Amino acid sequence: MELLNTNSRFLHDNIVEYAKRLSATLPDRLSVCYFTNSGSEANDLALRLARQFRGHQDVITLDHAYHGHLSSLIEISPYKFQKGKDVKKEFVHVAPAPDTYRGKYREDHTDPASAYADEVKKIIDEAHNSGRKIAAFIAESMQSCGGQIIPPAGYFQKVAEYVHGAGGVFIADEVQVGFGRVGTHFWSFQMFGEDFVPDIVTMGKPMGNGHPVACVVTTKEIAEAFSSSGMEYFNTYGGNPVSSAVGLAILDVIENEDLQGNATRVGNYLTKLLNKQKAKHTLIGDIRGIGLFIGIDLVKDHQERTPATAEAQHIIYKMKEKRVLLSADGPYRNVLKIKPPMCFTEEDAQFMVDQLDEILTGLEEAVGAKTESVISENTPCRTKMPEEAHSELLSDGSPDPKENPSQKRNGLCTDKHSLLSKRLKT
Q: pLDDT, tens digit, for every residue of 397-419?
A: 444 444 444 444 343 334 444 43
Instruction: Give the sheet arrangement for strand 58-62, strand by strand.
Output: 2-3, 32-36, 214-218, 200-203, 169-173, 134-140, 58-62, 92-95
Q: What is the pLDDT of residue 87?
A: 77
Q: What residues does 215 pair with on adjacent strands?
A: 35, 203
* Domain ranges across the chain: 13-257, 259-374
Q: Among 31-40, 106-115, 223-232, 338-347, whose mean pLDDT is lowest?
A: 223-232
Residue 345 pLDDT > 90: yes
- CATH among 3.40.50.10140, 3.40.640.10, 1.10.1040.10, 3.40.50.300 for 13-257: 3.40.640.10
pLDDT in tens, 90-101: 999 999 999 999
**pTM for the predicted model, two decimal places:** 0.86
Residues 6+ apart with CB under 8 A from 33: 1, 2, 3, 4, 5, 19, 22, 23, 215, 216, 217
pLDDT bin (cut points 50, 70, 90) of residue 219 is: very high
Give the architecture (CATH level 2) of 259-374: Alpha-Beta Complex (3.90)
Do the Cβ atoms of 327 and 409 come closer than 8 Å? yes
pLDDT at 3: 56
Query: What pLDDT shows up at residue 417?
Result: 42
- Higher-scoring residue by pLDDT: 270, 240: 270
Query: Which residue, 388, 378, 324, 383, is CA-closest to 352?
Result: 324
Tell me what the mean pLDDT of segment 195-208 comes to: 96
**Cβ contact 12:244 at 8 Å:** yes
Q: Does residue 289 come out as left (phi exceeding 0), alpha (psi in the -120 to 50 range) or beta?
A: left
Looking at every residue in the chain, the average pLDDT score rounds to 87
